Chains A and B, each alone.
Chain A
């Protein structure tokens, strides 16, 4: 520790820290623009100049390392003059039309100018005008004359995003911040540059000019999308969500948000929101009141139950719903005598259910995962499934984490990858088994699984070496693995690798409340799984926050099951086309932003939140709807007065941490690789749930472009396809014409074609066989 003095205050600072960091540690503010704690030091804005005794000139606090005995003055005459000088330079070419700038009121330049600038400008020459740039539908770069060239945006894309999508072109006064010529900024975490930009140069395209910052109230919430549980500040005006910003939480989202977390709020204000209960009769939809609608539901459920038995009814719920909603949904179903309930519509393998010993989770905290020396990610398109976690792993991989990948496509992760094994879904189990076999050979243990037929590839060996060498190693299974028809085998093999190598293991929970859904029992314990409810269609379905054509493993089969049912009761925030087609009653429920509730993230952390606005129209929080339904069905135990009461009841069932367990009590796996042409059908980054599916700006991004078939070289050649021409795809009896693209990153026998999109909803299972020919 070094002893230093800042403005007369004595303090100690660690060797290697900067004057800026030392000042922050004692709460002394030094004005700055380019400095950001998560980015490399650029030292270009020069706003942080301070006086250091014995130094001949003022020094930039952000880049000056402290030395023992250093005496720093942040407010001396010299420091203040230097700061005022820089401020004058920053303002000479700045438009200074703050009243019409979108950043007005929350602009660092404005704030610091008031504190550290002079009143009048001595600059009387013409100001520079910089043409606006097109960075895509999320980030507005219209007002580039406001840019102060701090390069925070540039450093963010390069260092945090992994790919320098924004650069500073030209020189001197003519320097301009721009994306690649003719390209937009396509990172899945691009919106952070809006927060980073200290001025009104980069602003939110969907938000800009809609309100002034000071008109907004700030409310805390939690992202309803992926399993990370990013903390949000939701900004509201007149009961409408206007904007979403990150709420800093170093252990979860740091100071970042994924674009999905930030821009999905537009979906909350969508015209497709369901605002009144609706019943379909005489082949038409009729708006109705809650009483009528709920009476209809009760009659329907009682009727099906009387005619066909309770087992003829199935509940499909969503891992994006709150813990309280999911708890009440399963409580209601079970109290009514229905055990067919599941939140896992996107899965296809439920064979491990009987061997489960607790709820699946990450197996560690997020921080612990990032600190592991070796990590193996199995079956995850990391950047689209978990954009922020991917960014955290990117940082860790720079600091020495050995990142290993087993996946169905060689995706560009923009991070350092130690070893990767790319295999068709039909060979994925075999790929993981190869690593197990290599681990067994290294560690000398014995696996109960039969590995005789498995040949260890060089990549599998490298992965096994890495897992066994790392002081701390972790293995995680992504959404592709979880949706895979052999998930139970992937899980079993992972468990074995972990047991023998000493690594920890878990899953990358795909949704905000996957862990909560499992913990509260909203899955097939004692009843049918989501897969069975589709494979053996039920007479009645209750859908909670679920659109089976998008959320189901097999879109075509899901829709067919819905269509044949006598009644489909949907608790939904949206009147989506599918629901309007096959449901007969729609109950408008509140999305996460309009209800109190909680999500349990991948690390098992329960995060409670309150509604940030009142429910729109006649929409009601789902926990209230379920409570009333419980009462109308004359079920006991539905006397809740608040979401908190529901939460206390469900939490009384036991400590969360005690009930998390990834290990299966018995395992099995068939490790032979199979041949054939198979689909890789993934949920695109902005199709994960109904909210982002209804967010127009996200849907306008390059990442949400219309699906195309990406085809492995062997399949492409065998079908005689030409690049970009239409191919005829056949799956489950349905056909579709889509543009065909050769994709060298795919293993043999693979056709990659997204699910959860209207364009492909007529097709079948995510990882089922598929045919493709010239069309």
Chain B
């Protein structure tokens, strides 16, 4: 299901057209104009990067790091191999936007990566694709073939002497391989485990070479920025939150799906676009940025706009833009138990606090849910979480702790009730 309003990436994409992803359709929508423009003008690398900086584009993979700034970290005079890598691992529960980019508009990503390669002086790139969206992977390979055949990719692109090769690789479904350094390990054929940083990928990345990693949506936004200008992109959103954003709306709404809307759009509007609450039920809570983001209760959510700054001020994160909507029939203990189980399953296991802590958190919550909670369990959850967060190699441990903290903060009474009475306050209804 993919429903797009307006925007940068899906502007003009007819999702009903089974050829919408093809090169011809992309070019008809203005595709590869940006690349041609850069190559024809031999635009200086610094200018390309400055344009991306000025656009206010922030990384769409979760952390919201300014993309142009990241690109400027790449040592451009470095003589050896360098790489750009795209992160289409998309394993975060609730997130399903990047697969739709591959499905409906893969050339936007390809063009964005070629431009990135040009700007950072790299000759090769990889797109690492989640192992459980194999069709999207295959279609991406087909799109790459089209681009190569059209002289847009490979040696001597468009006869300008610029070389850039792009390869697709697929993972096997581990969430941790979305963490950028685990992704690099996996891409190198090793077990996907995050690396200790520093050194950061910009100095020690793929095969130990300088590497820039961005999310699919980040790269796919770049052609627009070059074609229509940084200012236009910035204006599509709001200051410091440039552009439109894809939101994967899931949960108890009438029309779950991907919505591309300007950053700064009120949550209420987004909810409306998604058809409002299903069966007229009351909104209870929303996780606004993927399962790793803190949950926010309805009363807070109804007042926020969908952008990095507003959601952060409200106490959560825009994250990957996965909006998980929960209605009044959700038992928050049960919801948290599902999330805790996920992190318990997906921890890579290197770091002591995460390996041991994710399992411990899950077991406590599981116990509470099953009516075996004990007084002191909530304090224990808090304390275990404190010993995990910020003490590990990657942010998965933090991601596991944020939901626990926020659920037990905003819906503490449900946990207390279950611990005290051995049964849930809210009779969870599956629907």
Where the two chains meet, the residues of A that have a C-beta atom closer than 8 Å to any C-beta of B are 41-47, 49, 56-58, 60, 63, 65, 82, 85-86, 88-90, 92-93, 122-123, 125, 148-149, 151, 167-168, 170-175
Instruction: Determine whether the beta carbon of A173 is less than 8 Å from that of B349.
Output: yes
Interchain residue pairs A-B with the least CB separation, the first 4: A85-B387, A172-B347, A175-B349, A89-B356
B residues near A65, Cβ cutoff 8 Å: 198
Kindly identify which residue among B349, B357, B392, B393 contacts A168, using a CB–CB cutoff of 8 Å: B349
Kindly identify which residue among B358, B360, B392 contacts A123, using a CB–CB cutoff of 8 Å: B360
Instruction: Determine whether the beta carbon of B350 is less than 8 Å from that of A149.
Output: yes
Given A46-B392, A56-B390, check contact A170 B349 (CB 8 Å): yes
Proximity bits, B328-361, A CB within 8 Å = 1, else 0: 0000000000000000111111111111111110
Q: At the interface, yes or no: B281 with Cβ under 8 Å from chain A?
A: no
Cα A65 to Cα B358 in complex, Å, equals: 29
A residues near B352, Cβ cutoff 8 Å: 44-47, 86, 89-90, 148-149
Q: List 17 additional A-B contacts (Cβ < 8 Å) besides A46-B352, A63-B196, A173-B344.
A: A42-B350, A44-B351, A44-B393, A82-B387, A85-B387, A85-B391, A86-B352, A86-B353, A88-B387, A89-B356, A89-B357, A89-B387, A93-B356, A125-B364, A149-B349, A171-B349, A174-B349
Instruction: Determine whether the beta carbon of B359 is less than 8 Å from that of A46.
Output: no
Residue of A49, A56, A85, A168 contacting most chain B CB atoms (<10 Å): A85
Cα A172 to Cα B400 in complex, Å, equals: 13
Name B380-398 residues within 8 Å CB distance of A: 380, 383, 386-387, 390-393
Cα A49 to Cα B387 in complex, Å, equals: 11
- In the complex, what's the smallest C-beta–C-beta distance from A31 to chain B, in angstroms? 12
Instruction: Determine whether the beta carbon of B358 is less than 8 Å from that of A172.
Output: yes
Cα A122 to Cα B374 in complex, Å, equals: 12
B residues near A41, Cβ cutoff 8 Å: 196
Instruction: Determine whether the beta carbon of A171 is less than 8 Å from that of B356.
Output: no
Instruction: Determine whether the beta carbon of A46 is less than 8 Å from that of B349.
Output: no
Instruction: Determine whether the beta carbon of A122 is less than 8 Å from that of B349.
Output: no
A residues near B386, Cβ cutoff 8 Å: 85
Instruction: Determine whether the beta carbon of B391 is less than 8 Å from that of A46.
Output: yes
Instruction: Determine whether the beta carbon of A172 is less than 8 Å from that of B353.
Output: no
Instruction: Determine whether the beta carbon of A125 is less than 8 Å from that of B367.
Output: yes
Cα A168 to Cα B198 in complex, Å, equals: 23
Instruction: Determine whether the beta carbon of A82 is less than 8 Å from that of B345.
Output: no
- In the complex, what's the smallest C-beta–C-beta distance from A395 to chain B, in angstroms? 18
By beta carbon, the residue of chain A nearest B386 is A85
Q: At the interface, yes or no: B410 with Cβ under 8 Å from chain A?
A: no
By beta carbon, the residue of chain A nearest B175 is A171
By beta carbon, the residue of chain A nearest B367 is A125
- In the complex, what's the smallest C-beta–C-beta distance from A48 to chain B, in angstroms? 11
Cα A46 to Cα B353 in complex, Å, equals: 8
Instruction: Determine whether the beta carbon of B391 is less than 8 Å from that of A86.
Output: yes
In the assembled complex, 16 residue pairs joining A and B whose CB atoms fall closer than 8 Å, in A order, are: A46-B352, A46-B353, A63-B196, A82-B391, A86-B391, A89-B352, A89-B360, A89-B387, A93-B356, A122-B383, A125-B360, A149-B349, A170-B349, A171-B176, A171-B345, A172-B354
A residues near B412, Cβ cutoff 8 Å: none
Given A46-B353, A90-B356, check contact A172 B345 (CB 8 Å): yes
B residues near A174, Cβ cutoff 8 Å: 349
By beta carbon, the residue of chain A nearest B347 is A172
A residues near B176, Cβ cutoff 8 Å: 171
Given A172-B349, A175-B355, check contact A86 B196 (CB 8 Å): no
- In the complex, what's the smallest C-beta–C-beta distance from B112 to chain A, in angstroms? 32
Given A85-B353, A88-B387, A149-B349, check contact A173 B393 (CB 8 Å): no
By beta carbon, the residue of chain A nearest B364 is A125
Cα A56 to Cα B349 in complex, Å, equals: 24
Q: At the interface, yes or no: B174 with Cβ under 8 Å from chain A?
A: yes
Proximity bits, B20-52, A CB within 8 Å = 1, else 0: 000000000000000000000000000000000
Q: At the interface, yes or no: B191 with Cβ under 8 Å from chain A?
A: yes
- In the complex, what's the smallest C-beta–C-beta distance from A127 to chain B, in angstroms? 11
Instruction: Determine whether the beta carbon of B348 is less than 8 Å from that of A171.
Output: yes
B residues near A93, Cβ cutoff 8 Å: 356, 359
Q: At the interface, yes or no: B363 with Cβ under 8 Å from chain A?
A: yes
A residues near B363, Cβ cutoff 8 Å: 125
By beta carbon, the residue of chain A nearest B383 is A122
Cα A43 to Cα B380 in complex, Å, equals: 26
- In the complex, what's the smallest C-beta–C-beta distance from A375 to chain B, in angstroms? 26
- In the complex, what's the smallest C-beta–C-beta distance from A416 to chain B, in angstroms? 16
- In the complex, what's the smallest C-beta–C-beta distance from A164 to chain B, in angstroms? 10
- In the complex, what's the smallest C-beta–C-beta distance from A411 to chain B, in angstroms? 26
By beta carbon, the residue of chain A nearest B358 is A172
Instruction: Determine whether the beta carbon of B196 is less than 8 Å from that of A172.
Output: no
Instruction: Determine whether the beta carbon of B356 is less than 8 Å from that of A92.
Output: yes
Instruction: Determine whether the beta carbon of B359 is less than 8 Å from that of A172.
Output: yes
Cα A149 to Cα B391 in complex, Å, equals: 16
Instruction: Determine whether the beta carbon of A149 is less than 8 Å from that of B191.
Output: no
Given A41-B196, A168-B349, A175-B355, check contact A92 B191 (CB 8 Å): no
Cα A482 to Cα B253 in complex, Å, equals: 82
By beta carbon, the residue of chain A nearest B192 is A171
Cα A42 to Cα B357 in complex, Å, equals: 19
Given A42-B196, A92-B360, A125-B363, check contact A171 B390 (CB 8 Å): no
Cα A45 to Cα B383 in complex, Å, equals: 19
By beta carbon, the residue of chain B nearest A125 is B363
Residue of B174, B350, B363, B392 contacting most chain A CB atoms (<10 Å): B350
Instruction: Determine whether the beta carbon of A172 is less than 8 Å from that of B348.
Output: yes
- In the complex, what's the smallest C-beta–C-beta distance from A329 to chain B, in angstroms? 56
Cα A174 to Cα B363 in complex, Å, equals: 14
Cα A168 to Cα B355 in complex, Å, equals: 13
- In the complex, what's the smallest C-beta–C-beta distance from B413 to chain A, in angstroms? 24
B residues near A89, Cβ cutoff 8 Å: 352-353, 355-357, 360, 387
Instruction: Determine whether the beta carbon of B356 is less than 8 Å from that of A57.
Output: no
Instruction: Determine whether the beta carbon of B347 is less than 8 Å from that of A171.
Output: yes
Instruction: Determine whether the beta carbon of B391 is less than 8 Å from that of A57.
Output: yes
Cα A18 to Cα B41 in complex, Å, equals: 47
Instruction: Determine whether the beta carbon of B351 is less than 8 Å from that of A46.
Output: yes
Cα A49 to Cα B352 in complex, Å, equals: 12
Instruction: Determine whether the beta carbon of B391 is less than 8 Å from that of A172.
Output: no
Cα A65 to Cα B360 in complex, Å, equals: 32
By beta carbon, the residue of chain A nearest B359 is A173
B residues near A175, Cβ cutoff 8 Å: 349, 355
- In the complex, what's the smallest C-beta–C-beta distance from A26 to chain B, in angstroms? 24
Cα A42 to Cα B198 in complex, Å, equals: 12
- In the complex, what's the smallest C-beta–C-beta distance from B218 to chain A, in angstroms? 26
- In the complex, what's the smallest C-beta–C-beta distance from B242 to chain A, in angstroms? 28
Cα A125 to Cα B344 in complex, Å, equals: 15
B residues near A171, Cβ cutoff 8 Å: 174, 176, 345-349
Instruction: Determine whether the beta carbon of A173 is less than 8 Å from that of B391.
Output: no
Instruction: Determine whether the beta carbon of B391 is less than 8 Å from that of A49.
Output: yes
A residues near B357, Cβ cutoff 8 Å: 89
Proximity bits, B155-192, A CB within 8 Å = 1, else 0: 00000000000000000001010000000000000010
- In the complex, what's the smallest C-beta–C-beta distance from B187 to chain A, in angstroms? 18
By beta carbon, the residue of chain B nearest A92 is B356
Cα A173 to Cα B363 in complex, Å, equals: 12
Cα A510 to Cα B349 in complex, Å, equals: 44
Given A41-B196, A125-B363, A149-B355, check contact A172 B346 (CB 8 Å): yes
Given A122-B380, A172-B344, check contact A58 B391 (CB 8 Å): yes
B residues near A49, Cβ cutoff 8 Å: 391
A residues near B345, Cβ cutoff 8 Å: 171-172
Kindly identify which residue among B174, B349, B383, B393 contacts A43, using a CB–CB cutoff of 8 Å: B393
- In the complex, what's the smallest C-beta–C-beta distance from B176 to chain A, in angstroms? 7
Instruction: Determine whether the beta carbon of B191 is less than 8 Å from that of A168.
Output: yes
Cα A316 to Cα B363 in complex, Å, equals: 70
Cα A175 to Cα B351 in complex, Å, equals: 11
By beta carbon, the residue of chain A nearest B176 is A171
Instruction: Determine whether the beta carbon of B356 is less than 8 Å from that of A173.
Output: yes
Instruction: Determine whether the beta carbon of A173 is less than 8 Å from that of B196.
Output: no
A residues near B355, Cβ cutoff 8 Å: 89, 149, 172-173, 175
B residues near A43, Cβ cutoff 8 Å: 196, 393
